[in-house]
Amino acid sequence: MRVLVVGSGGREHALASAIGASPRCGELHAAPGNPGIALIATCHPVKADDVEGLVALARDIEADLVVVGPEAPLVAGLADELRRIGIPVFGPNAAAARVEGSKAFTKQLLEAAGVDTAEAFTVTDLAGARIAIQRLDGRCVVKADGLAAGKGVIVCDDAAEAEAAAAELLGGSLGEAGRVLVVEERMDGPELSVLALCDGERAVALPSARDYKRIGEGGTGPNTGGMGAISPAPGVSDEEARAIVETVHKPILRELMNRGVRFSGCLYAGLMLTATGPRVLEFNVRFGDPETEAVLPRLGEDLLPWLLACATGDLEEREIATIPGSAVTVVLASRGYPASSESGVPILGVPEAGAERDAIVFHAGTAVQDGALVTAGGRVLAVTARGADRAAAIAAAYAAADRIRFDGLQRRADIGSESQG
């Protein structure tokens, strides 16, 4: 088979590694890929948001399967276009990608499907926001309806903070994304990511994971794209992840089907483990990053047939084999992240880190300049290691990460711990 992976981050490097390892993968292509992916695939200089360019590329190389990493091209209709010309694609059509693209739509969907989530109000002006904030006693979360690259969610302690957040978003701080707001009940508890492979009707759970989202240890400081991950999430068994797919993912697939929408691809549920049980925070319509870098190395079988089955609508509903133990991913970020990033800084030690026992180095924001590997973004590398248990995986991931050096390197020291993400 000839497979095209769309995207350029650590998630896509993890996907490309898993797909490239399949005996059924004859040729692996990526667009645009990154220097790590370039070692295992043919990279094409087509950006991940260039829907027309990607469709033309998939047609030119006669792809048998396109696997889409990021959400933006899905929301923009890449999967629709590929299906229209008969190319199987792992990733939902634009109508199904609204599950990530609009928080207001998703709240309504959750309610209709009877899935447990925070109480919420959708508002379009400050007067409406004030009423919602009062009803929730001020302690609430204000969310921009549209895609906002992780900047559209403001967790508030009181009414004054919530009103200020609503005023800023409605005032256009995030442009169109904040014209509609969801104001919702603030929940408490550790977070959990449950990713499921879906073909529209059926869903199969991947091992659970936790993402460590804040820049600082103990879950402090600004939100980032994710500073690390562990699979399984501490205290959550793979059986529990499977149970969540029954009570969350499958009702959502059914509710979408009732509306004539088929979700094919990875449905990612972000949940909070509250005192009353798991409740949904959000959905993503793609693999998580950096969860994917921790989850895929735990798979005990070939990923490619599963992705193809999702694309062609004949997913087999059985447990996917997993490697026992844990996998931990430590993200190495550049100076200034998440507010800014530094490019062109030389990176040393990647081959040595990859040679450590049970370790894999995924490239996220790297480039090659004059033959040398340099930084090219906020999240630079994601270092994953497996271990027989959580402690062993943490030790192995940090032993590998310790080999990598670049000026301004930032990382968290508590990835894999039970601390808040």
Which residues, 279 to 298, sit near ligand AMP by CB under 6 A? 281-282
- Contact call for residue 73 and ligand GLY (CB under 6 A): no
Q: Does 186 bind ligand AMP (CB under 6 A)?
A: yes
Select the binding partner of residue 191 from ligand GLY, ligand AMP, none (C-beta < 5 to 8 A, by kind): ligand AMP
Strand 359-363 and strand 220-223: the pairing is unpaired
Strands, E assignment, 113-263: 120-123, 140-144, 153-155, 181-185, 191-199, 203-205, 210-211, 214-216, 220-223, 228-231
Which partner from the list ligand GLY, ligand AMP, none does 289 bind, CB cut-off 5 to 8 Å by kind? ligand GLY
- Of 33 and 288, nearer to ligand AMP (C-beta) is 288
Q: Say whether residue 289 binds ligand GLY (CB under 6 A).
A: yes
Which segment (8-16, 183-191, 238-246, 353-361) binds ligand AMP by CB under 6 A?
A: 183-191
Rg of the chain's alpha carbons, rounded to an integer?
20
Q: How many residues bind ligand AMP (CB under 6 A)?
A: 14
| Residue 288 in contact with ligand GLY, rule: CB under 6 A | yes
Pairing of strands 65-68, 220-223: unpaired
Q: Does 187 bind ligand AMP (CB under 6 A)?
A: yes
In angstroms, the Cα distances linking 143 to 169, 213, 280 are 8, 17, 14
Q: Which of 12, 80, 163, 211 binds ligand GLY (CB under 6 A)?
A: 211
Q: Is 284 in the site for ligand GLY (CB under 6 A)?
A: yes
Q: Are strands 140-144 and 181-185 parallel, antiparallel or unpaired?
A: antiparallel
- Length of the chain as a residue count: 421
Q: Which of residues 127-166 bind ligand AMP (CB under 6 A)?
A: 141, 143, 153, 155
| 19 membership: H or E segment, kind and range | helix 10-20
Neighbours of 351 (CB within 10 A): 11
Size of the site for ligand GLY (CB under 6 A): 6
Backbone angles phi, psi at 120, to 5 degrees: -150, 155
Contacts with ligand GLY by CB under 6 A lie at 211, 226, 284, 288-289, 291
Contacts with ligand AMP by CB under 6 A lie at 118, 141, 143, 153, 155, 184-187, 191, 213, 270, 281-282
